[in-house]
Structure 1
Amino acid sequence: MTGPEHDLTDPQRRALRIEIAVVLAVTFALSAYTALLSLIEGVLLGLSGQTVALNPQRSSFSLIDLGFNLASLFQLLAWGALAIYLLWRSGIGPAQVGLGRIRWRPDVLGGIGLALLIGVPGLALYQIARILGANASVEPAELNDTWWRIPVLLLLSFGNGWAEEVIVVGFLLTRLRQLRVNPWVALAISSLLRGAYHLYQGFGAGLGNLAMGLVFGYAWQRTGRLWPLIIAHTVIDAVAFVGYSLLAGRLGWLQ
């Protein structure tokens, strides 16, 4: 188990660097790599003509499709749980990274406020990027094809928020702090990673998520609370997955 930052030995620091590399390699660094390849392919083919499907149907059989979606959900939950476990093994409990008991005002209301702070400018940035031809068009999920679609999309919204905020903020920034990385440099690393694994949606999505990472990471550095970030991310994804699909057909400017 690792001790406080000033007590870390060289082997312990080396172990933390290896741990960061391994965790990111099997989670969001790999996603960033594939997203970058998708972006390069989109640019070569003409990005403005590309379509990104939000949670597309994965099987023509409803129950198998459900199984694939549940597997994705369990993977996201497991990624976050792995990061929490590794922190706990090193003497850093969940409460120390902001995952203590949820509180109504700082966590729930704070999360909704963060969602509004990020969501409204993010939608505007997406539309500007689309107009400039720097974003892929988005194909909303089909919500009426089966009874389980909306509940599973809402669960996936939480899964995304849980995995991304736990790993990219709680885990990564904690480990970088232990390694005595400058807080602003650590914040930049976390935000760049977040932006990179959204590049498959185009430059606008990458920049929007980079900005989101700066706001979320700074909020965590200031408050030490991770639940507001998870709640905000869940709300944003729920609107994107479900709300967008419900409204896209009625509001032409969303399409």
Structure 2
Amino acid sequence: MIENVNAEQIEQKATRKTLRFEVVLVLALSLGQSAVYSILSLADKLTRGPLREQTTSLNNQLSNREFFDFSYQLLDIIFALVPALLALYLMKRSTGRGIHEIGIDLRRPGKDALLGAGLFLAMGLGTLGVYAAGRALGITTALSAANLGDYWWSVPMLLLSAVRHAVLEEVLMLGFLFTYAKKLNLGLWTTIISSAVIRGSYHLYQGLGPMIGNLLMGVVFGWVYHKYGRVMPLVIAHFLLDAIGFVGYALIGPAIGIGS
């Protein structure tokens, strides 16, 4: 009997160790890695001068030749999604939860779209407010959100980039992390705050304002995911935020001085 109890304890300890390792592995290959580089990038910017005088460029050209730029951009998006696939595979293997259990499916398109759109409107206004306040306080760099060439595929590529960010971040920060946190017996608010801090950290390269804004968004998204148990509405909201930001900037940003 004692031997059976010890065997169970050893197995539980090994399982918890495996779960923690899988979380670290996935984050080290994806958003955790981005957080480390983002912190270093902020330190670099702070030692160069005031943040208000600097610009952060997103969605940059990867080659000055159209075919290779298109190819690099597309491959960058495809390979960036691999950690999300790895997370889903490990989650199913180690916890038994698949994509349907975390709400990545089309079973509730209307309700998911409605909730996602509502979150987009609320978070969009908040994002603009945080950005404006950050610029006024000098803790946020100017953002240049779309810097691809003037090609026919630039807008579709920006939309694919928005899909990439939405899927990767919400699958990892919500579906994956929340599932593993529950298996590791972490409390709800410990999980929500931890996820939000990571989310904020990998936006530090844009300055302190975006970090604060994304941390707050992470708290809201975490609570909504806990309440409804579905990642899809958050993916929709995140996609809309990035799509409007990227494509809107590409079409009208430079003309009206956005980012200055």
Whether the TM-score (by the shorter chain) exceeds 0.5 is yes
User: 1:28 corresponds to which letter in structure 2?
Assistant: L
Aligned pair partner of 1:159 in 156, 164, 168: 164
User: 2:132 corresponds to which letter in structure 1?
Assistant: Q
Residue-by-residue CA offset, 1:124-180 (whole Å, 9 max, x unaligned): 110110111100111242466111110011011011100000011110111011100
Greater mean alpha carbon deviation, residues 176-185 or residues 43-52 = 43-52
Q: 1:49 to 1:186 in 2, by over 3 A?
A: same
Aligned partner of 1:220 in structure 2 is 225
**Runs (5+) with no aligned partner, structure 1:** 1-7
Aligned partner of 1:139 in structure 2 is 144
Aligned partner of 1:109 in structure 2 is 114
User: 2:151 corresponds to which letter in structure 1?
Assistant: T
The 8 Å contact of residues 61 and 149 in structure 2, kept in 1 or not, is answered as no
Aligned pair partner of 2:68 in 64, 73, 94: 64
> Equivalent residues in 2 for 1:80-91 (5 A)?
80-90=84-94, 91=96
Structure 2 counterpart SS, 1:138: strand
**Alignment TM-score, normalising by the size of structure 1:** 0.93
Distance 1:219 1:243 in 2: 27
**Alignment TM-score, normalising by the size of structure 2:** 0.91
**Runs (5+) with no aligned partner, structure 2:** 1-10
Q: Indicate the percent of aligned positions where both proteins have the same amino acid.
A: 39
Distance 1:75 1:123 in 2: 30
Structure 1 counterpart SS, 2:75: helix
Q: Any runs of at least 4 consecutive aligned residues in structure 1 with deviations exceeding 6 A, and if so which? A: none
User: 2:30 corresponds to which letter in structure 1?
Assistant: T
Q: Give the CA RMSD over aligned residues.
A: 1.5
Structure 1 counterpart SS, 2:100: helix
Distance 2:41 2:254 in 1: 27
Aligned pair partner of 1:193 in 193, 198, 209: 198
Q: 1:102 to 1:245 in 2, by over 3 A?
A: farther
Shift of 1:78: 1.5
Distance 2:168 2:144 in 1: 24
Distance 1:253 1:243 in 2: 10
Residue-by-residue CA offset, 1:19-69 (whole Å, 9 max, x unaligned): 111111111111000000111111111222221112011111111111111
Structure 2 counterpart SS, 1:95: coil
Structure 1 counterpart SS, 2:47: helix
The alignment covers a number of residue pairs equal to 248
Distance 2:124 2:246 in 1: 13
Distance 2:88 2:132 in 1: 36
Greater mean alpha carbon deviation, residues 239-248 or residues 146-155 = 239-248
Aligned partner of 1:4 in structure 2 is none
Shift of 1:83: 1.1
Distance 2:173 2:150 in 1: 34
Distance 2:227 2:28 in 1: 28
Q: 1:153 to 1:102 in 2, by over 3 A?
A: farther
User: 1:43 corresponds to which letter in structure 2?
Assistant: L
Greater mean alpha carbon deviation, residues 223-232 or residues 90-99 = 90-99
1:210 pairs with 2:210: no
Aligned partner of 2:38 in structure 1 is 35
Q: 1:182 to 1:62 in 2, by over 3 A?
A: same
User: 2:81 corresponds to which letter in structure 1?
Assistant: L
Q: 1:52 to 1:11 in 2, by over 3 A?
A: same
Structure 1 counterpart SS, 2:168: helix
Structure 2 counterpart SS, 1:225: coil
1:246 pairs with 2:248: no
The 8 Å contact of residues 39 and 200 in structure 1, kept in 2 or not, is answered as yes
Shift of 1:252: 3.7
The 8 Å contact of residues 174 and 222 in structure 2, kept in 1 or not, is answered as yes
Distance 1:71 1:143 in 2: 15
Aligned pair partner of 1:128 in 107, 129, 133: 133
Shift of 1:188: 0.5
User: 1:87 corresponds to which letter in structure 2?
Assistant: M
Shift of 1:75: 1.9
